[in-house]
Amino acid sequence: MQFVFINHLISLMLIFVMVHRVLSEGCNNASWWRSLDTPSRWSVCPRNNTYLRGFWRSPHKTGDERVGRLEEGRCCDAAEPRYAGQPSRCVNANWSRTLNGFNVWALCPKGFYMNGIRTGSAHLLQSFLNNIEEARCCHPTDHPSRYEDCYDEDVAISFNTEGWSECQKNGYYMTGFYKSNCHELNCIDKFRCCKYLLRTSDAENGNYIVSTYFFIQKETKRKTFLENL
């Protein structure tokens, strides 16, 4: 009876952790329809403790692939319970020199995630990728200067058409993007997507719950087998 109770308790704890991670990653769309067509204005998530997971762009238009055709950002809360709702620390990353080049990565400092961008062009319809001056980069206050894991999301096809291009893996957020061989918006070919670093104590707690669950399962089966002999 005691084994059954503990078994149910641990099952509920596992369900709680998984549900909390799903619910904590609430996302909202930040409207940049005007801001990215306004010189030297920030286009950011509504809150600095939400982090970009992707961009929505309007239809491809030859001869008018300015940054202003990037219309919205997908801004999401931290998925990990430890960081969900936690205040953030932000810095502005200078991308002006980086994005003047070709075939380059424009990235936040290690451990930070994108929250928005700012163009510096003084001309309304002449802001292209090389006119992005800065990125707003944020992370939860006690998040270290490294990531749990990163991968590159290929958006070379999706970012040439109208719609969303996002980090597809759950719990991953944008830390920057790769610009190929032109200054037009459609030359964003990849997103760098990274996951929050779990502290040792967080991982140990999760592993302890899982290992205890399987130990109880094993002991319950062994006890049942012995009783039936």
Per-residue pLDDT of the chain (229 residues; tens, 9 = 90+): 554 444 444 444 444 344 434 444 599 999 999 999 888 899 999 999 999 999 999 999 998 999 999 999 999 999 888 898 899 999 999 999 999 999 999 999 999 999 999 998 766 667 899 999 999 999 999 999 999 999 999 999 999 999 999 999 999 999 999 999 999 999 999 999 999 998 765 544 544 344 444 445 545 565 554 556 5
How far apart, in whole angstroms, are the C-alpha atoms of residue 1 and residue 220? 10
Q: What is the pTM of this model?
A: 0.78
Angle, in degrees to the nearest 10, between helices 200-227 and 2-24: 150
Residues across the chain: 229
Helical spans, DSSP H, in 35-166: none
Max alpha carbon distance in the chain (Å)?
85
Angle among Cα 114, 116, 118 to the nearest 5 degrees reads 130
What CA–CA distances, in Å, run from 140 to 86, 144, 147, 178, 187? Answer: 6, 9, 12, 24, 30
Q: Are strands 172-179 and 163-166 parallel, antiparallel or unpaired?
A: unpaired
Phi, psi of 84 (to 5 degrees): -60, 125
Q: What is the DSSP letter of 7?
A: H
Work out the burial of residue 3: count CB atoms within 10 Å of its CB; fewer than 13 is exposed, 13-18 middle, 19 or more buried.
Answer: middle
Q: What is the DSSP letter of 187?
A: G
Rg of the chain over all Cα atoms, to the nearest angstrom: 22
Candidates 76, 204, 83; CA nearest to 147 is 83
Residues 32/54, Cβ–Cβ less than 8 Å: no
